[in-house]
Amino acid sequence: MPRVITPLTDTQVKKAKPKEKDYKLADGLGLYLLVTTTGSKLWRYDFTFEGKRKTSAFGRYPEVSLQDARRRHIDARKLLANGADPAATKKAAKAAIKAPTANSFETVAREWHAKHKHTWAERHAATLLGRLENEVFPYIGAEDIGKIKPPQLLAVLRRVEARGALDIAHRIRFQCGQIFRYAVATGRAERDPAADLKGALPPVKGGHYAAFIEPKDVGPLLRAIDDYQGSFITKCALRLAPLMFVRPGELRQAEWTEFDFDNAQWNIPGSKMKMREPHIVPLSRQALEIIKELQALTGDGKYLFPSTRSPQRCMSDNSLNAALRRMGFEKDEITTHGFRAMARTMLDEVLQFRPELIEHQLAHAVKDPNGRAYNRTTHLQARREMMQTWSDYLDGLKAGARVIPFKRVDE
């Protein structure tokens, strides 16, 4: 005969003591009190669902009384009778409570990140998300994004500033501004409160032009440029910037009449150079390919990179840096001018080219042992080889290959 289970009483539950092993006090129909060796008293319900033995937890005594446990037991049995798994239903309900609402800052921020991360380097995308998870979500993540006010966001930034990370605080304000503007565009907010916080934080002290100088960082940057979704003209300029590493103003003002395709070189007149001396930029095979692609679009005009407002003007001085910002790179990570620092550092330390070749190609003031300034054609053949080697090396980094440093090229 089946064993008859006598329902528990409040006194039995209250007086239950721990033993050498965990044990159960049954209340009937699968409900029982589990008494552990540490003295914890836990309500449990054992049941069978789709042929599998399962257990649902109803809480701890005395927080959950005997009567409360029985009510939860009844509710669970009703679910089971209707073909639902009580344990899975409970888990889903808890997840729904914890899950951000459709209009919460966290939900919108994660959606914004998911839509843009393919345009960023993988490392950069992870940094942006980690910054939100650590610095922003714990404080305003659950808030309706359309109701967040500037003082709430400022409080988040002040916490970061207070620990001495002022530059990070500025980055977070910029990043939150992008998220709020995305919320405006998708109809979940009316305005961007981050815009009201301009000037609320102390400025970060300036320094050298930001640049990536580690090979492991350059590959993702180049891939991000190749994936740029903006203007094709801007994309061409971004692709050429690391290959030729001229000053941004020299690149923007490049004119078609200055290019000698027969000799694969760009002849920049002295009037456009900082040192007021004419300069030659040897064109690698990769640079020529990009320039010829661009020629089909702008070759009938004056400038390689004309302004969108007038073909008689070149693109604005902020176009390329703005494109880098749209790609997710911040101004203290990389600027257009930073491509020069990238080339100077890696040509020297990785590819081991002679410093005078590098400096001459950077159009810096370089003098021979007798103190005379080199002219524009000095070491031209060696510089041609250097520029091709540099382009090939960048291709390797972009492809993600393990690139072994080249040996120094001698004249």
Closest CA to 293 of 237, 372, 241: 237
Token pair listed for 215: 């090979």
Nearest C-alpha neighbor of 232 from the set 326, 305, 329, 327 = 305
> Of the residues 23, 139, 209, 374, which is catalytic?
374
274 is catalytic: yes
* Gap between the Cα atoms of 221 and 226, Å rounded: 9
Residue type, 290: I
AA identity, residue 335 = T
Q: Among the options 72, 235, 252, 340, which is catalytic? A: 340
Is residue 188 part of the annotated active site? The answer reads no
- Exactly one of 60, 364, 367, 407 is catalytic; which is it? 364
Question: How far apart (Å, rounded) are the C-alpha atoms in residues 279 and 269?
Answer: 7
Q: What is the distance between the alpha carbons of residues 321 and 248, in angstroms, rounded to a whole number?
A: 10
CB 363 within 8 A of CB 280: no
Q: Respond yes or no: is residue 364 known to be catalytic.
A: yes
Residue 191 near residue 181, CB atoms below 8 Å: no
Task: Choose the catalytic residue: 41, 170, 235, 247.
Answer: 247
Taking the C-alpha atoms of residue 76 and residue 55, their distance in angstroms, rounded to an integer, is 11
Determine which one of 113, 252, 337, 383 is catalytic.
337
Closest CA to 98 of 43, 137, 57: 137
Active-site residue, 340 included: yes
Q: Which amino acid is at 362?
A: L
Distance CA 356, CA 362 (A): 10
Residue count (the chain): 411
CB 84 within 8 A of CB 75: no
User: Which is the catalytic residue, given 60, 274, 292, 367?
Assistant: 274
Supply φ then ψ for residue 201, to 5 degrees.
Answer: -105, 145
For 364, which DSSP code? Answer: -
Tell me the catalytic residues.
Answer: 247, 274, 337, 340, 364, 374
